[in-house]
Amino acid sequence: MTALIGNPLPHIGNASGFPAALPPNVIRVVARAISHAWGLICANPSHHLMEIASGAPEEDVYSDAICELLMQMLDSSSAVVPGFTSEMFDKVGRGENVSNYNGSSINKQPDIVIRLANSPISYGRRFVGIFIESKVVCMAKPMSLYTTQGLQRFVVGDYGWAMQAGMMLAYRKPKHRDLDHLEVQLSSEAALLSIAVSGKHLDLKPVYAPVSAVSAHQRAWSYVGGGNPGDIRIWHMWDLIMPS
C-alpha cells in the first residue's frame, strides 16, 4: 500500500512530473461541453438559473448552472458532447477550497475545477485538472476584474499551479467588450507577465474554437517539491453572451 500523505506539496515538482500537461484536444472537449451547457442556459434561463440575489451574485449563478449541467453530462449513459465522458473526466466541482502552490493559503476557490480521470499520482489528484475562473465582462466593469482578480491567480500560483494550462470564461453582457480590450490589458498590466509573439499577447486561431484566444504567461515562483512551473497557457472563452 502506498504511504498516505497529508501534505502533498513537498512531493509535487519537476521530478514527479509536474506541471502536468493538458493537451489542446482535452481543453477543446471541455470548451465544447461548456458551450453546450451555455446554449441550454440561454435557451431557457428561468429553467436553469437560480435567482440573482445578494448571496447569489450574477457571476456565481451562471457558474453554478454550468457546473451542475457539466456534472449531469458526465453522469449521462451516453456522451452528450463527444469526448466529455467519465472515462476522461472524473468530476466537476465549484468553489472548492484548494491550496496555492506553497501552502501559504489553503482556501483558494477557483470557480470551476474539472478533474481528470487519469491523475498521475494519488496525492496530486486534487491539483490535476482544468482549473477555470469566470468573470462578467462589460463596458461598465473595468478589465482589471477579469485580469487582476481572475487571470493573475493563475500567474502567481493560486490556481492551476500543477498544470501547464488553465481556462478563463468571460460572461459578456451589454455594452460588450471585445478581445481588443483584453489585448490592451495584457500589454499594459505588467504583473500578468504576458508573453508577446510578434507584438501580440493573444493567439487567435480558428482551430481553437470554441475557445476564442490563448495567452501565455511566465510564472516566477518555484515548487516546494523542487523545480520551476514554466509558463502557463490560458484558454479564453469570450463567446458566452449572457441572455437578456
Q: DSSP E strands: which ranges in 43-149?
A: 89-94, 112-116, 129-137
Q: Which of 179, 166, 61 is nearest to 113 (CA)?
A: 166
Mean pLDDT of the chain: 95
Report whether pLDDT(120) > 60: no
> Residue 102: which of 237, 233, 219, 8 has the closest Cα?
8
User: Which residues, in sequence order, are bridge partners of residue 162?
Assistant: none
Question: Is pLDDT above 50 for 35?
Answer: yes
For residue 76, give the 3-state DSSP assignment: coil
Q: How many angstroms separate the CA atoms of 24 and 170, rounded?
A: 19
Q: Where are the alpha helices (DSSP H) in the chain?
A: 24-43, 45-48, 58-75, 144-146, 152-155, 179-188
Percent of the chain past pLDDT 90, that is, above it, reads 93
Cell of 149: 482578480
Burial of 44 (0-12, 13-18, 19+ CB in 10 A): exposed
H/E stretch holding 168:
strand 165-172
Q: How confident is the model at residue 4 (pLDDT cuts 50, 70, 90)?
A: confident
Amino acid identity, position 126:
R
**Residue 116: which of 104, 125, 103 has the closest Cα?**
125
The reported pTM is 0.96
Band of the pLDDT at 118, cuts 50, 70, 90? Answer: confident
SS3 (DSSP) at 20: strand
Please give the pLDDT value at position 1: 42
Phi, psi of 61, rounded to the nearest 5 degrees: -60, -45
Average pLDDT over residues 44-56: 96
pLDDT value for 244: 81
| CATH class in words for 14-241 | alpha beta
Q: Does residue 82 have a cis bond before it (omega within 30 degrees)?
A: no
Structure confidence by residue, pLDDT tens digits, 88-112: 999 999 999 999 999 999 999 999 9
On the question of pLDDT at 79 being above 60, the answer is yes
Give the list of residues 6+ apart from residue 200 with CB closer than 8 angstroms, or none: 183
pLDDT above 60 for 219: yes
The residue with cell 502533498 is: 8
Question: Could you give the percent of the chain with pLDDT greater than 70?
Answer: 98
CA dist 139 → 94, 136, 189, 207, 226 (Å):
27, 10, 18, 28, 42
DSSP state at residue 163: B
**Confidence class for position 177, pLDDT limits 50, 70, 90:** very high
For the residues 19-37, what does the mean pLDDT come to? 96
User: Which sequence spans correspond to the domains of the chain?
Assistant: 14-241
Q: How distant is the alpha carbon of residue 158 from its chain centre?
A: 12
pLDDT value of position 124: 83
